[in-house]
């Protein structure tokens, strides 16, 4: 019964720790809700949405009100000749109020408003895609920091085990010396190894603290906040390299940004050209001019206006400028496609290489443990030297370090491959 209770306590303890450990997905969620760069990108997206609404608003009527009061030093008048005599008469009072309400709506703009809306839509799509890019980059930085913490924790555990083994060996050396089997320099050498291991623990613990501080900074937390992470990562994609490359070229938001930016410039260019074509609008409203000498102070009016620029020395240059800008972005897009292909290739090769390293490292751990045990037994029997034991322990420690490094390198390669695919 006692053994059962102990097992139950251990199970609950580790289950509680696992429940408290923060996953990578939870870390991403925290960062996306608090990171200042993400908030700035979201604000840019909202600004683009407002620009689109403004472009669409060009199709709606405009209603303008205007009013004022005018005071002259004298009453305006007119002068004429009647039967050979000059006659002056007042046409307007010296002080008067005027007011106007005018509505205007475009009827035909040769596609100018349509192209402006198209450009604003493309800009919004580009801004949204850029927000996704920023999110992916932030997620990748967090993933790097996340793995750095776990890597440092694992290496710290390895050097602690290394210290325990060296301490046990130093105890064996002391026993051997007391029995007169080994010389005093073996004790000194063993103690030096213990001190070196303690120094390695101090160094690795500091590296772990730095890794945690960087991780907390990315999540906008106090740098000294406790960090407990779960060892859970995305699975490696099963598709071959060619399929992964095709998917990346279809899904990467960086390419969408450039595509939409090019589309925006093309729409702006067409809008500039449309400005040289006929622009037709309808206008109507009410005008009031206070004047007791005028028969009708308030008048309704309506008209249809046509504007056609016969010549504009700037439009062609604006159009050419937009064409060149679109060409430049197209070249950047072509270059980015090549870079994406290289990123997929590198991440895929890294994932294949790290899987092989893990298998080799696991075999090395088994053999290194067995070798250390054999050498330790031989030393205790006086058949091996202190140097043999230290060498065996170093091999065992290196094997564990290699296994942990390969394991986290695989996790990082998988995440980099997912980032290259645009799927984090």
Query: Percent helix, strand and coil across the chain, each rounded to 5?
Result: 70, 15, 15
Q: What is the mean pLDDT of residues 155-177?
A: 90
User: SS3 of 87, please?
Assistant: strand
- Torsion from C-alpha of 163, 202, 225, 227, nearest 10 degrees: -30
Q: Which residue has the tokens 């990467």?
A: 252
Answer whether 0.85 is exceeded by the pTM: no
Half-sphere exposure of 160 (CA within 13 A, CB side): 8
What φ, ψ does residue 64 adopt, rounded to 5°?
-120, 135
pLDDT at position 135 is 94
Tell me: the pLDDT tens digits for 300-316? 999 998 988 877 778 88
CB-CB contact of 120 with 48 (8 Å): yes
Residue 291 — pLDDT band, cuts 50, 70, 90?
confident
Tell me: the pLDDT tens digits for 15-30? 444 457 899 999 999 9
CB-CB contact of 223 with 217 (8 Å): yes
pLDDT at position 104 is 92
pLDDT of residue 179 exceeding 90, the answer is no
Interatomic CA distance for residues 369 and 323, integer angstroms: 68
Interatomic CA distance for residues 15 and 180, integer angstroms: 50
pLDDT at position 164 is 92
pLDDT of residue 3 exceeding 70, the answer is no
Tokens of residue 64, six digits: 């303008």
Higher pLDDT, 18 or 4: 18
CB-CB contact of 131 with 416 (8 Å): no
Interatomic CA distance for residues 272 and 309, integer angstroms: 12
| Across 128-142, 174-188, 272-286, least confident range | 174-188
pLDDT of residue 63 exceeding 60, the answer is yes
Q: What is the percentage of the chain residues whose pLDDT exceeds 70?
A: 96
pLDDT of residue 12 exceeding 80, the answer is no
Q: What is the mean pLDDT of residues 316-335?
A: 93
Residue 383 — pLDDT band, cuts 50, 70, 90?
confident
Tokens of residue 6, six digits: 């102990």
Q: What is the mean pLDDT of residues 272-284?
A: 90
Q: What is the mean pLDDT of residues 371-376?
A: 91
Classify each residue of 72-100 as buried b or exposed e, where b means 16 or more C-beta atoms within 10 Å of its C-beta.
Answer: eeeeeeeeeeeeeeeeeeeebbeebeeee
pLDDT of residue 394 exceeding 70, the answer is yes
pLDDT at position 331 is 96
Q: What is the mean pLDDT of residues 255-265?
A: 95
Tokens of residue 157, six digits: 């555990």
Centroid of chain to Cα 26:
16
pLDDT of residue 8 exceeding 80, the answer is no
pLDDT of residue 42 exceeding 90, the answer is yes
Q: What is the mean pLDDT of residues 358-382?
A: 90
pLDDT of residue 319 exceeding 60, the answer is yes
Q: What is the mean pLDDT of residues 101-117?
A: 91
Interatomic CA distance for residues 124 and 47, integer angstroms: 9
| Across 72-86, 270-284, 358-372, least confident range | 72-86
pLDDT at position 292 is 85
Q: What is the mean pLDDT of residues 83-99?
A: 84
pLDDT at position 369 is 93
Higher pLDDT, 1 or 285: 285
Q: What is the percentage of the chain residues whose pLDDT exceeds 90?
A: 63
pLDDT at position 89 is 80
pLDDT at position 208 is 96
Report the mean per-residue pLDDT for the chain. 89
Interatomic CA distance for residues 176 and 308, integer angstroms: 106
Interatomic CA distance for residues 263 and 249, integer angstroms: 18
pLDDT at position 132 is 94
């Amino acid at each position: 019964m006692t053994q059962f209770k102990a097992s139950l306590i251990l199970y609950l303890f580790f289950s509680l720790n696992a429940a408290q450990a923060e996953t990578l997905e939870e870390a991403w969620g925290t960062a996306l809700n608090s990171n200042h760069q993400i908030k700035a990108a979201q604000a840019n997206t909202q600004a683009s949405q407002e620009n689109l609404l403004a472009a669409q608003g060009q199709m709606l009527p405009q209603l303008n009100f205007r009013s004022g009061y005018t005071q002259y030093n004298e009453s305006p008048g007119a002068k004429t000749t009647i039967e050979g005599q000059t006659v002056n008469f007042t046409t307007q009072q010296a002080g008067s109020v005027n007011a106007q309400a005018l509505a205007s709506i475009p009827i035909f703009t040769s596609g100018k408003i349509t192209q402006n809306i198209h450009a604003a839509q493309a800009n919004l799509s580009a801004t949204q895609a850029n927000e996704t890019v920023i999110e992916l980059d932030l997620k990748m930085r967090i993933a790097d920091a996340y793995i750095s913490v776990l890597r440092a924790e694992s290496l710290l555990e390895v050097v602690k085990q290394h210290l325990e083994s060296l301490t046990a060996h130093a105890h064996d050396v002391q026993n051997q010396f007391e029995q007169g089997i080994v010389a005093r320099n073996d004790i000194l050498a063993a103690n030096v190894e213990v001190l070196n291991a303690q120094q390695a623990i101090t160094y690795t613990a500091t590296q772990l603290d730095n890794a945690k501080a960087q991780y907390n900074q990315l999540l906008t937390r106090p740098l000294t906040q406790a960090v407990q992470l779960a060892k859970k990562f995305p699975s490696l994609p099963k598709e071959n390299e060619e399929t992964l490359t095709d998917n990346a070229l279809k899904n990467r938001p960086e390419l969408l940004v450039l595509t939409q930016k090019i589309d925006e410039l093309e729409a702006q260019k067409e809008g500039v050209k449309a400005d040289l074509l006929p622009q037709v609008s309808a206008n109507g409203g009410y005008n009031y001019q206070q004047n007791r000498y005028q028969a009708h102070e308030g008048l309704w009016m309506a008209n249809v206006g046509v504007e056609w620029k016969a010549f504009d020395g700037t439009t062609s240059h604006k159009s050419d400028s937009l064409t060149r800008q679109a060409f430049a972005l197209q070249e950047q897009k072509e270059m980015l496609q090549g870079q994406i292909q290289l990123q997929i290739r590198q991440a895929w090769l890294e994932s294949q290489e790290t899987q092989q390293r893990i298998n080799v490292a696991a075999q090395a751990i088994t053999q290194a443990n067995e070798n250390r045990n054999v050498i330790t037994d031989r030393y205790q029997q006086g058949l091996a030297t202190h140097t043999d034991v230290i060498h065996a322990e170093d091999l065992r420690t290196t094997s564990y370090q290699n296994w942990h490094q390969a394991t986290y390198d695989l996790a990082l390669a998988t995440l980099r491959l997912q980032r290259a695919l645009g799927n984090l």
